[in-house]
Amino acid sequence: MTGRDRMVVVVLGAVAALVVAFLLVVSPEQKQAAQVQAKVESARTELSTAQTKLSEAQDAEKRYAAAYASIVSLGQAVPADSEVASLVYELDHASSNDKVGFESITSGTTGSGSSTSATASSAATAAAGGFQELPFTFSFTGTYEQLYKLMGRLQGFTVSKPDGSVNVNGRLLSIQGVSLAGGSTASGSSGKLTASVTATAYVLPAGQTLTGGASASAPAGVTTAASASGGSTATPAIVRPLP
Amino acid sequence: MRAVNLIPVEQRRRGGARLAGRSGGAAYVVIGLICGLAVMALLYGLADHEIGAKQAEATRLSAEAQQAQSEASRLAPYTSFVSMREERLKATQELANTRFDWAHVMHELGRVLPSEAALTAVTGTVGAATPGASSTTAPAAGASAASKTVTSATPAGSTPTFTVTGCAKSQSAVALTMNRLRLIDGVSEVSLEGSSKTGGGGGSSCPAGYPSFSMTVAFDALPQPTVKTTPVSAAKSASDSTADATTKSGGG
């Protein structure tokens, strides 16, 4: 072996040693660095998602008071239970405003219209997934003009406005049918008509309460400072109309 | 001519060894090896430093994410409550928007009726007469699949129909009545069921010689509800209304 050959062997050996050192020491470290970088990206994504959720939750917290007031108000339109008494009051009030005689209210759509003792809880019709329906038949007497104005008043209890809000003045009613006929002997001579109105009111699905257990200060499941210190949470002041 | 190297042989060897040195080039190999090792040590150090820094960053980010998630979980009931409000508002809007405007149509009916005709009975129906036959409104575009559907008593797509019966001075007045009824907003068809002159006696509600008619007035199908919900912060909340029922309450 000449000196040149020895030199070549030495050089090759040195290069091989460097390659081996790179593969055994540096390369694994770089791979680990890449893995850690991926972990950082994952954590960054996780943080971003969590921050988005937090931002939404904080936004919801800020809007809670308005949402609570809104949902209580919507409870006037669609209450948690039948609330027939308040419906009768609203109908009587509306018909009095239009000088219309409120003759009868019957639970269901096939009644004779002679009873005012509707127990609509039994008439609640299960509606798949949504609100439950409460069918009623109302009977009014009045002039044609008075009666059509009353129809507008009844459907005007709850009105959806173009800006996306809902104006709630009373129960949400969908009128399905109106039948006008000449009045009875007592009122027929004065040009009064008898209107039989088939309408549907709505209640929340079974098992749902108006506010879902929320109070005016916080929803159910949130520990407030007051409750944490043993204080009582405020009960929502849901006003129910009485005659 | 042949070239002759005049440098002595010893000096020639010495000159050639000057490049490689006495070690015969091994020194260069050692230097190269050291340089290579130094580069590798540098790479190793950089990678090691990067690992340390990134691990610290990952730990910090994870901790921040956990804290944010914890805070978001604590506030989750607020999100649920606002979602519940949005769903109820949307459902109420859908129901309110699929109703037939009875007051307007009855007002129009009274407005277009000619003076030569009078109505004795009016019967109007929308969609299913019984609640069991009502259908479900389609969810609005963009609504989440999880949102509940709302069943309306007057579902979109149902056709309002009026049946009017009355008396007219003549058959021409009956024809005029048909033409006038077509002027009502949203009327799609007016069909005459019958018109016959009566003798005026017995159970007839029309004067003698006046035709008694019966017509069916069909309206356009109720449109799909256009629901536009706005956040409570931006929209006027439902509580903005002047709640008659609330203000006239007696308590309890």
Set of chain A residues whose Cβ sits within 8 Å of the Cβ of B122: 178-180
Whose CA is closest to A180, among A141, A137, A212? A141
Given CB atoms, is A217 within the 8 Å cutoff of chain B? no
pLDDT tier for residue A226 given thresholds of 50, 70 and 90: very low
Gap from A80 CA to chain B (nearest CA, Å): 12
pLDDT tier for residue B64 given thresholds of 50, 70 and 90: very high
**CB-CB contact of A7 with B26 (8 Å):** yes
Residue of B nearest to A66 (CA): B232
Set of chain A residues whose Cβ sits within 8 Å of the Cβ of B152: 174
pLDDT tier for residue B24 given thresholds of 50, 70 and 90: low
Q: Which CATH number is correct for A75-203, 3.40.640.10, 3.40.50.1100, 3.30.1490.20, 3.30.70.60?
A: 3.30.70.60
Domain boundaries, chain A: 1-62, 75-203
Q: Which of A40-54, A104-118, A217-231 has the highest mean pLDDT?
A: A40-54
Gap from B161 CA to chain A (nearest CA, Å): 9
The Cβ-side half-sphere exposure at A71, using a 13 Å CA radius, reads 29
pTM above the 0.80 mark?
A: no
Q: How far are the Cα atoms of A106, A133, A213 from residue A206, in angstroms, in the given order?
A: 22, 11, 15
For residue A122, pLDDT over 70 is answered with no
pLDDT tier for residue B208 given thresholds of 50, 70 and 90: confident
Give the pLDDT of residue B242: 35
Cβ-count burial of A173 within 10 angstroms (0-12 exposed, 13-18 middle, 19+ buried)?
buried
Whose CA is closest to A154, among A132, A187, A177? A177
Residue of A nearest to B146 (CA): A129
CA distance B57 to A42: 11
Higher pLDDT, B98 or B217: B217
Residue of A nearest to B248 (CA): A241
CA distance A222 to A218: 6
pLDDT tier for residue A2 given thresholds of 50, 70 and 90: confident
Instruction: Tell me the mean pLDDT in the region B14-26.
Output: 62
For residue A111, pLDDT over 50 is answered with no
Tokens of A118: 């509707």
* Interchain proximity B242–A159, CB inside 8 Å: no
Lowest mean pLDDT among A38-42, A96-100, A203-207, B198-202: B198-202
Higher pLDDT, B224 or B241: B224
Give the pLDDT of residue B9: 74
Lowest mean pLDDT among A81-90, A117-126, A129-138, B220-229: A117-126
Q: What is the rounded average pLDDT for all residues in chain A?
A: 80
CA distance B245 to B249: 6
| DSSP per-residue string spanning A23-70 | IIIIHHHHHHHHHHHHHHHHHHHHHHHHHHHHHHHHHHHHTHHHHHHH
For residue B141, pLDDT over 60 is answered with no
pLDDT tier for residue B232 given thresholds of 50, 70 and 90: low
Neighbouring CB atoms inside 10 A of A12's CB total 11
Residue of B nearest to A61 (CA): B78
Set of chain A residues whose Cβ sits within 8 Å of the Cβ of B84: 71, 212
Gap from A224 CA to chain B (nearest CA, Å): 11
Neighbouring CB atoms inside 10 A of B200's CB total 12
Higher pLDDT, B152 or A17: A17
For residue A168, pLDDT over 80 is answered with yes
* Interchain proximity A76–B245, CB inside 8 Å: yes
Give the pLDDT of residue A187: 43
Whose CA is closest to A97, among A153, A181, A39, A160? A153
Contact residues for B89 (Cβ-Cβ < 8 A; gap 6+): A70, A74, A166, B229, B238
Given CB atoms, is A87 within the 8 Å cutoff of chain B? no
Q: What is the rounded average pLDDT for all residues in chain B?
A: 77
pLDDT tier for residue A119 given thresholds of 50, 70 and 90: very low
Tokens of B130: 């019984």
Give the pLDDT of residue B113: 93
Set of chain B residues whose Cβ sits within 8 Å of the Cβ of A200: 131, 153-154
Set of chain A residues whose Cβ sits within 8 Å of the Cβ of B99: 155, 174-175
Residue of B nearest to A172 (CA): B96
